[in-house]
Structure formats: structure tokens, C-alpha cells
Structure 1
Amino acid sequence: MTTVHGTVKPGFERVRDEFAAVADGSAQLAAYHRGEQVVDLWTGQDIDGDSLLGAYSASKGAAHLTVALLVQDGVLDLDQRVSHYWPEFAAEGKQDVTLRDLLAHRGGLVGSDEGFSRADLADDRVVAERLARQRPFWRPGSAFGYHALVVGALSGEVVRRATGRTLQEHFADRVRDPYAVDFYLGLPAELEPRFVSTQPMVLTPERQLPLPAANSLPGIAFNRHHPQGPEVWELPNFPEVRRLGAASFGGVASARGLARMYAAAISPLDGEPPLLKPEIAAEFGQIQSVGYDVVLREHKAFGVGFHVTSERYPELGQGSLGHSGAGGQQAFADPRNGIAYGYTRRRIPFPAAAAPENEPLIKALYSALRAVESPR
């Protein structure tokens, strides 16, 4: 079994045991219950509890928590047209797309015809400007498909147009700094020594996956049609991605940061009230799109900017909201049970998605919670 470092609260020892049994290489795990940290673990010779790793699409959770706060403030309206905030977005038949449509992956704007260079993709402003001119790849509202590399740039441009400030600035001011959340949409240069680069997955002949055709809808959504387009697994390893903090995939975090962000969202934390009012958390966790995802080509469920995480993990309460990442990350808030969870690892899993060890780890966490809360 793997050597594990860190601590767990009494009653949560089974989570540490499960982590030792299933962790694949270097990894971190953190969890909160009703605002109290109950799990803080890591393993691997090359990382510790303070190490920062690429968050990949778990970055979308930070981005859309920020959007949720602006909706809560009355600054943004989910059922307002995007073009109300961002007039140029109305081009090519997109004039009726609402902010809710955009965040539920129903806008049909998964990429651009010509694709993005590495430098383009790292810069949300460049991506947004390009997509404002783009014709959607399906009639908006008629289907849904994961806007994997661009949804944060799109929602971020709405935020910038509505407030005059970037989504990244709002996240830092409203979430990261006041709650000491170790999660960065734009990594400061002085924190670069804490960053640990992602390692590629190990591919053997029997573990090769067929890649989508470059000009197919999945190929466009994952930018495979651009001749200089980077591989998804490489993205956080590029300094410009970390520096600019692309809201779809460019975040950098520890598992502590992932879990603490979601704890702050739903629970009192260090004497401060939850960031989200219950009705806002419920709306953003409510299913908006469910069924066949035309990009991922599988069954998926999305809330407002978040995964409906309980679709994958049956232990979770209804209304749970979070986001996984291609590097193996999983992070979520479960308001009904008061749980916030964060997991990250160094080697990207096969296939690139939430790592399979999350399932037994989450089961162990909820089993421990039931035992702690059961009458003596």
C-alpha cells in the first residue's frame, strides 16, 4: 500500500485507508463537512499538501461560482440574452442565446472553424472575440454538447461586459482572497515554485483510444483541427496558460483549494456565511441539459455551468454541483449533506477524465460520514 501523509478527523480513518489502497501515483485528497476540514491527505515523493497542480476543467467550477455570485447580486440574469451584455455575440444567428443556454452547453459554440493556436487558446479575450463572429455548430437550444475549451471564455466575456472587470479578478476578490482558497485563475509568479507539472498518461498498444477526426464536432470542440493546437493534457504545463488562467481549463489548485472553495460556497467557514444563498446553489445545481451530449457522444447531465455530479456518484445528495477535470480532478459541493470534496493527481488518467479512484474514495467518505452521524 502507498505511504500516505496528512491527517483525518476521528471517524474518517477509512478514507485514509482507501486513499492508500487506490491512489495512483502522486495525488492529493481533501474534504470538508459543514465547514470543518475532515480529510487532508497526499501521497507521492514529488508533491505535498501545498503543491499546486493544473486544475483542467475543474477551473470551470471556480469560473461559474463567480458567475453565480454575480447572479445572486442581481448583476447578471440567467434568462437574459447574451447579446444584451455583449452585442457582437448576436452575429450569425446567436441573438437569442441566453446566459442560461450558454452555461448549460446549449449554445452550439464549441470552437471556431479555424481553431486556436496555443497562444490564442490561453487568452480568454482572444477566444471570446473569435467566437462572437462564429456561426454555431447546431441551432442553439436544439441540442447540447460540452464546450470543453471555450465556455469559460464565453461566460468570462459576459462578466467583463457587464462589470468592466474580468472573471478572474472577481474570483480573486470574492472567493480566493477572503476565504484563503488555494485556487488560482492566473497563477502569480511568486507561486510558480509550488507548481508541479502534469505527467502524461502511460499509453500501451492495448490502451489506445481512437481519436476523433480533426474536423468532426468533437475534433473542433477539442481543437484538434488546428495544426499547432496543443494536446489537452499539456495545457497547464504551459506558463502562459497558468499566468492568464483561462477560465475553462487554466486554473491551478491544490486539493485543499478545490475542497475549500466548495466548502465556502455552501457552508459557514471560519465564521463567515456561505457564499451562495440556498436558492442560488439550488438553481445552479438544477439539471438544465440531460441526455446525449453531441460532443462527448455519451449521456451527460449539466446544471448551470456545473456538472450534475450526483449523476456519476449515487452517494451524493440531489442538487450537488461541481466539476471534474481531464487530469483526474474531481471537486464538488453537496449542500444536502454539507460535504465539499477535492481530489487531484499528477499523472493524467486513462482515459482523460475524473480518475476512477474517485468512486471508492467518495464511497469511503460518505460511509465515514454516516458512521459519524449515526446515533450511538
Structure 2
Amino acid sequence: MAVHGTVVAGFEGVREEFATFLAGEEQAPGAQLVVIRDGERVVDLWSDGVTGESLLGVFSSTKGAAYLVAALLVQEGILDLDRTVASYWPDFAAEGKDGITLRELLAHRAGVIGPDAGFTQEELADDRAIAARLAGQRPFWQPGQFFGYHAFVIGALVGEVVFRATGRTLQEWYEERIRAPYDLGLWLGLPEAEESRFLTTLPMLPTPEQAAEIEAAAHSPYSLAGIAFNEHARGNRELYDFPNSRTVRANGQASAGGIGTARGLAGMYAAAAFGLDGRGPLLKPDTAAEFARIHSEGKDLVSGEPQAFGLGFQTYGPDFPAVGAGTFGHSGAAGSLALADPRQGFAYAYTRRRFAFPGGAAPENERLLWSVVRALG
């Protein structure tokens, strides 16, 4: 498979690592890779099956945009991390949720991972509908005592706090304060005029050995993981198909409905942490540090695996040892990963059109990140 695009001098090793990965792929992953340093796009690569301008479903990498909106509003004093969610949104106090703070919600500690009966596909595409269903939902664990990934709903829950506090949706804040000023190719609500650039997400094509591993790891639809991913709902669609719905793309569901490019994702993190296009960083250093500081660490009750979350953002250590302390970002189900590493001074984004095995940040990200760090010297 061919490698397309450019790297600046000194980053040839990143291109070589990208080419090595692609050489081992039997099916075109449709991958994009972008690195920004000092406001410059030093790596801008893509594989067969996409272009640098192709728009892809980025799944949970969308959450980074939602958390960045929250961070800006906290920084400006509009939101208070230690106020209760119910003080902004009174209906949320039902079923013993009155004491949950915004900090605990962002740290995936609220226990409100989905409704008992699941969402319809129409509800799952609509953040306000998700929030309305969850206002009266009982938590699935004692809030604040444990944590678990609020996979499909965290963007809607945070977004409802934003809406109640400001009268404007999270998507409106993102468009006005983040996407439009930097002309980022990452939308929470894809305009009809950009639809021709969108490429449908393709399902994973596992080997027989991988298929057996997937089968062995299967869980009940009524487990915490099943509820968090809406698998217990009647008529639930396959996860890979979620952004292939025009309704999802148009609404810009803030947990998993973002549509964009690796250029857009990397640009967002560069703007947040370092500044871009002659503007200073969106986040002050203390704000970025607080949102990157680990708030939840250990066994995730939903995934059953070790995880670490800051305030919404994923933090990175054992999974991606190439990045420095204080790195913040988020991965997505198809294999995407986007982040800012404030200490090493770069923003990184990788996207895929075809789902990667085993799901979440694709394994090749580790090698690609190491190649970036080596190029940085």
C-alpha cells in the first residue's frame, strides 16, 4: 500500500514507520496521520483508501472536543467543577444523584452509563434526548466511589450542564469558539455542504484467530459494558455503523458523533495546548494541567480493564509510554487517537476508516508515537 503526503526534514522516520505498518496490512485501513509542532504540520500522511481531506467518523475521539468546551467554560468561571450537576440541572437530582459534582461526572464516576431499557437509534443520535432519558436514571454504582467509561452518554451529560448554565448547546460553543476560528476539519454537526467528503466507516475484518479472541471476550448485553454501549437496546446497530447515519453526522452527538480528519483533530489539540494560526493557546497551563491530572485510575467497571482518566480526557502511561506526563487526549473505536503532549511540545492525530483489531486506539499508534518522539530528538 502506498504512502501519500509530506513530512518535513527530520521526520522521515515517521513516514518510514507508517509505510512499514501499511506493508503488513492486507486490507486498506484508510489511515491518516498528522503531527503539529510549533504551529507547523510536520507530518501529514495518508494511506490508500482516503485522502488528507477525507472526512471520517472519529467515534470517541469526539469526546476531546466536548471536554475542551468544558475546560474553556471552567477557565472562564462559567462552570464550577465542584458544584453539583443538579445545581445546574435540577432534574438530574433524581434517584440519589443530587450530590454528583461536575468534577465527578467528567471523571466517569457518576455511574449513569445508560438507561435500563436502552436508547432507540433516534435517541442515541440526539444529546438532548439522551440527557432527558438519563435525568431520572438510577446510577449503576455508588457515585464517586468507583469509575467506569460513560461511552455513549458523557458528551450528552456534560452538554446538558453546558446548556443549562449558558442557554447554548455544547455544539454551538464548539463551533463558535474552537472549530470556526481555526477552520478545523472536525465537526460536531457536519454541514450538508461537506457531505461529499465523508467516507463510510468500514467494519473490522478479523483473522480467524482474532475472531476467536473476540468471541472469548464477549459479554452479556446486560452487563455494564453492554449497557454502556447500548447493546441491550432492541434494534441496536453495530458500533462501526454509528457515524454512517446522516442523522448522527448532522447532530454531532458529543460522545461519538464527530466527523473529521486527522488534520482537524491535531489542529484542535495544537490550538488547545500550544496555540495555532498566530493565536495563543486556548487553555492556560493550569487549566490544561488540571484537566490532564489523573482523577480516576485503576479497574474501569465498564471495560473491566485498567484505565486512567483526567477530567474527561484519557491520560497515557503504560499504553503509550512514548508520551510525557500531562499528556491529554482521547481515542476512538475505529482506531483513532488524538492528543497533546505539553512537555514534548507536539499534537498528534491518527484516524482510520476501517475498524482496527481489537478496538479503541489501534496498536500501531504506539510505534507511530515512538517514531514521532525519536524525530523530536
Alignment pair present for 1:51 and 2:54: yes
Cα distance in 2 for partners of 1:365, 1:32 equals: 10
Larger deviation: 18-27 or 351-360? 18-27
Alignment pair present for 1:178 and 2:185: no
Cα distance in 2 for partners of 1:205, 1:21 equals: 23
Cα distance in 2 for partners of 1:300, 1:268 equals: 29
How is 1:207-218 mapped onto 2 (pairs within 5 angstroms)?
207-208=210-211, 209-210=214-215, 211-218=218-225
Q: Which residue in the other structure is 2:32 paired with?
A: 28
| CA distances 1:12-33 after superposition (whole Å, capped 9, x unpaired) | 0000111111134221000011
Please say if residues 224 and 302 of structure 2, whose CA atoms lie closer than 8 Å, have aligned partners that are also in contact. yes
CA RMSD of aligned residues (A): 0.9
Q: What secondary structure is seen at the aligned counterpart in 2 of 1:177?
A: helix
Q: Which residue in the other structure is 1:130 paired with?
A: 133
Alignment pair present for 1:95 and 2:102: no
Cα distance in 2 for partners of 1:270, 1:233 equals: 34
How is 1:12-161 mapped onto 2 (pairs within 5 angstroms)?
12-23=11-22, 24=25, 25=28, 26-44=30-48, 46-161=49-164
Q: Which residue in the other structure is 1:290 paired with?
A: 297
Task: Using the TM superposition, give the Cα deviation of residue 62 of structure 1 relative to its aligned residue in structure 2, in angstroms.
Answer: 0.6
Please say if residues 309 and 332 of structure 1, whose CA atoms lie closer than 8 Å, have aligned partners that are also in contact. no
Task: Using the TM superposition, give the Cα deviation of residue 158 of structure 1 relative to its aligned residue in structure 2, in angstroms.
Answer: 0.4
Structure 2 residue runs without a partner (length 5+): none
Cα distance in 1 for partners of 2:310, 2:318 equals: 11
Please say if residues 35 and 266 of structure 2, whose CA atoms lie closer than 8 Å, have aligned partners that are also in contact. yes
Cα distance in 1 for partners of 2:147, 2:360 equals: 19
Please say if residues 288 and 301 of structure 1, whose CA atoms lie closer than 8 Å, have aligned partners that are also in contact. yes
Larger deviation: 211-220 or 107-116? 211-220
Cα distance in 2 for partners of 1:205, 1:147 equals: 31
Alignment pair present for 1:331 and 2:338: yes
TM-score w.r.t. length of structure 1: 0.96
- Equivalent pairs, count: 368
Task: Using the TM superposition, give the Cα deviation of residue 203 of structure 1 relative to its aligned residue in structure 2, in angstroms.
Answer: 3.2
Query: Percent identity among equivalent residues?
Result: 56
Cα distance in 1 for partners of 2:40, 2:166 equals: 33
Task: Using the TM superposition, give the Cα deviation of residue 230 of structure 1 relative to its aligned residue in structure 2, in angstroms.
Answer: 1.6
Task: Using the TM superposition, give the Cα deviation of residue 207 of structure 1 relative to its aligned residue in structure 2, in angstroms.
Answer: 2.0
Cα distance in 1 for partners of 2:74, 2:150 equals: 21
Please say if residues 57 and 323 of structure 1, whose CA atoms lie closer than 8 Å, have aligned partners that are also in contact. yes
Cα distance in 2 for partners of 1:319, 1:204 equals: 36
Q: State the 4+ residue runs in structure 1 displaced beyond 6 angstroms.
A: none
| CA distances 1:49-84 after superposition (whole Å, capped 9, x unpaired) | 000000100000011011100001100011110001
Cα distance in 1 for partners of 2:89, 2:339 equals: 30
Alignment pair present for 1:194 and 2:197: yes
| CA distances 1:171-210 after superposition (whole Å, capped 9, x unpaired) | 0101100011110001000000000111000134432213
Q: Which residue in the other structure is 2:375 paired with?
A: 368
Q: Which amino acid aligns with 2:12?
A: E
Q: Which residue in the other structure is 2:228 paired with?
A: 221
Q: What secondary structure is seen at the aligned counterpart in 1 of 2:58?
A: strand
Cα distance in 2 for partners of 1:235, 1:310 equals: 29
Task: Using the TM superposition, give the Cα deviation of residue 47 of structure 1 relative to its aligned residue in structure 2, in angstroms.
Answer: 1.4
Please say if residues 332 and 360 of structure 2, whose CA atoms lie closer than 8 Å, have aligned partners that are also in contact. yes
Q: Indicate which of 311, 315, 319 corresponds to 2:322.
A: 315
How is 1:238-253 mapped onto 2 (pairs within 5 angstroms)?
238-253=245-260
Q: What secondary structure is seen at the aligned counterpart in 1 of 2:259?
A: strand
Cα distance in 1 for partners of 2:186, 2:13 equals: 27
Q: What secondary structure is seen at the aligned counterpart in 2 of 1:131?
A: helix
Q: What secondary structure is seen at the aligned counterpart in 2 of 1:201?
A: coil
Q: Which amino acid aligns with 2:247?
A: E
Q: Which amino acid aligns with 1:99?
A: L
Task: Using the TM superposition, give the Cα deviation of residue 268 of structure 1 relative to its aligned residue in structure 2, in angstroms.
Answer: 2.6
Q: Which amino acid aligns with 1:5?
A: H
Task: Using the TM superposition, give the Cα deviation of residue 317 of structure 1 relative to its aligned residue in structure 2, in angstroms.
Answer: 1.2
Q: What secondary structure is seen at the aligned counterpart in 1 of 2:329?
A: strand
Cα distance in 1 for partners of 2:121, 2:226 equals: 16
Please say if residues 322 and 366 of structure 2, whose CA atoms lie closer than 8 Å, have aligned partners that are also in contact. no
| CA distances 1:87-113 after superposition (whole Å, capped 9, x unpaired) | 000000000000010010000001100
Please say if residues 109 and 146 of structure 2, whose CA atoms lie closer than 8 Å, have aligned partners that are also in contact. yes
Q: Which residue in the other structure is 1:255 paired with?
A: 262
Cα distance in 2 for partners of 1:324, 1:268 equals: 22
| CA distances 1:314-344 after superposition (whole Å, capped 9, x unpaired) | 1211110000000100000011111100000
Q: Which amino acid aligns with 1:309?
A: Y
